[in-house]
């Protein structure tokens, strides 16, 4: 489905904002895009991907004053969305594996948390099914940032073919 991204994100972020307020999490969404543009998105699948990524930020960062920031901007033919948290971060030696199926980091902090290690593998598949990509950067004790990119659907000129 070809969807204008700005309203889609506003709605999605509004849903999260509500949930975050209840959990006392400082949640920010910033749209740095000037003009709207269209993406080819399956709403349910993209919602699921965001739930998995933001759900992790909540789950693994809940032992301190958590701040989650989502930023959307445009880079040429791409919409870039960053999902940043100030949680515990992920050790550099584990970072290459977090998108693998069933990979989870087992430690004192995570041992009591319910998890299967599928959340990010699924998120990555859903994003790639949209022609998009997801990458991660993280610093221990500082936080984690997931960067999503989606190709913009070019507007067809009126009367023109493409
Ligand atoms: P599931 O999502 O299936 O419940 P999971 O959360 O363990 O299980 P993933 O979502 O795939 O699995 O995440 C893999 C691992 O990456 C997690 O076990 C966790 O250790 C680490 N991780 C993911 N996101 C974050 C984050 N925002 N901050 C810190 N660690 C994270
Ligand atoms: Mg998860």
118 lines ligand 1 (CB under 6 A): yes
**pLDDT at residue 161, rounded to an integer:** 45
Instruction: Report the percentage of the chain scoring pLDDT > 70.
Output: 96
Mutation probe of ligand 1 site: the residue of 53, 84, 115 with most atoms within 8 A of C-beta? 115
Instruction: Report the percentage of the chain scoring pLDDT > 90.
Output: 86
| Interatomic CA distance for residues 102 and 100, integer angstroms | 6
The pTM of the full predicted model, rounded to 2 decimals, is 0.94
Q: What is the Rg, in whole angstroms, of the alpha carbon atoms belonging to the chain?
A: 17
Across 21-132, the runs of DSSP E, i.e. the strands, are: 26-31, 38-40, 67-75, 78-85
pLDDT tens-place string over residues 34-59: 999 999 999 999 999 999 999 999 99
Position in ligand 1 atom list of the atom nearest CA 61? 28
Residue 3 in this model has a pLDDT that exceeds 80: yes
pLDDT tens-place string over residues 80-90: 999 999 999 99
| Interatomic CA distance for residues 140 and 156, integer angstroms | 45
- The chain-wide mean pLDDT, for the chain, equals 93
Distance 145 CA to ligand 2 centre (A): 14
117 lines ligand 1 (CB under 6 A): yes
Residue with the smallest CA separation from ligand 1 atom 18 is: 104
């Amino acid at each position: 489905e070809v969807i204008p991204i700005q309203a889609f994100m506003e709605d999605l972020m509004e849903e999260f904002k509500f949930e975050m307020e209840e959990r006392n999490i400082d949640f920010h969404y910033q749209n740095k895009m000037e003009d709207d543009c269209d993406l080819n998105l399956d709403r349910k699948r993209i919602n699921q991907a965001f739930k998995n990524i933001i759900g992790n930020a909540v789950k693994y960062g809940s032992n301190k004053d958590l701040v989650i920031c989502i930023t959307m901007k445009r880079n040429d033919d791409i919409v870039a969305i960053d999902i940043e948290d100030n949680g515990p971060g992920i050790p550099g030696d584990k970072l290459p594996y977090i998108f693998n199926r069933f990979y989870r980091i087992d430690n004192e902090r995570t041992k009591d948390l319910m998890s299967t290690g599928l959340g990010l593998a699924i998120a990555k598949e859903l994003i790639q099914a949209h022609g998009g990509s997801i990458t991660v950067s993280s610093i221990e004790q500082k936080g984690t940032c997931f960067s999503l990119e989606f190709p913009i659907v070019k507007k067809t000129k009126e009367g023109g073919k493409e």
